[in-house]
């Protein structure tokens, strides 16, 4: 749980017990190996999408478009080489899992970078609705319901 202040304590989900998850940092040309072990509640499937990273479809967690989701109690090992330096993030592409806190920064460093920095800060911003206006599932259902009732545009 995260304390949003004012007594608001949303029920978050976490990567390895942390919301947001731990920063992942590696260099261009390195192989990232990440094992996803699905321990989510209620038989919830999940995935990891490496947002902004160009990679093979079988390593991109966008079910069902690029691969199947990981079932509860199962694991999947993502393995890929990133060839473009930059600041990215990773998150599931299943339901409202990102809104429940499943996301983290992903930094691909350029070993050829010649600029020196005094300090480097990674800032990851998110907005929270859980505990404020309802759970992510309730808010999603409310918005989805409203979309269905709109008249068709001509």
Domain count for the chain, please give it.
1
Q: What are the pLDDT digits (tens) for 79-125?
A: 999 999 999 999 999 988 888 889 999 999 999 999 888 898 999 88
d(CA 91, CA 105): 9
Is residue 4, in this structure, part of any structural domain at all?
A: no
71 is in which domain, residue-wise?
24-111+121-148
SS3 80: strand
Q: Which of 84, 96, 76, 16 is nearest to 51 (CA)?
A: 84
Q: Which of 48, 23, 34, 47 is nearest to 108 (CA)?
A: 23
Residue 70 clears pLDDT 70, i.e. is over it? yes
Is residue 96, in this structure, part of any structural domain at all?
A: yes
For the entire predicted model, the pTM comes to 0.80
Is residue 16, in this structure, part of any structural domain at all?
A: no
Tell me the CATH number at 51. Answer: 2.60.40.420
Is residue 1, in this structure, part of any structural domain at all?
A: no
Q: What are the pLDDT digits (tens) for 14-47?
A: 888 888 899 999 999 999 999 999 999 988 999 9
């Amino acid at each position: 749980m995260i304390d949003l202040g004012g007594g608001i304590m949303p029920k978050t989900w976490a990567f390895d017990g942390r919301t947001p998850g731990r920063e992942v940092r590696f260099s261009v040309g390195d192989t990232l190996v990440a094992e996803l072990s699905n321990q989510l509640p209620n038989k919830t499937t999940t995935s990891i999408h490496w947002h902004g990273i160009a990679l093979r479809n079988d390593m991109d967690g966008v079910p069902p478009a690029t691969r199947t989701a990981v079932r509860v109690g199962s694991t999947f090992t993502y393995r890929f080489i990133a060839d473009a330096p930059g600041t990215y993030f990773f998150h599931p592409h299943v339901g409202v899992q990102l809104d429940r806190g499943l996301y983290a920064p992903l930094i691909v460093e350029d070993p050829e970078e010649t600029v020196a920095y005094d300090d480097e800060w990674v800032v990851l911003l998110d907005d929270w609705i859980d505990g404020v206006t309802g759970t992510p599932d309730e808010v999603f259902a409310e918005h989805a319901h409203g979309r269905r009732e709109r008249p068709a545009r001509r």
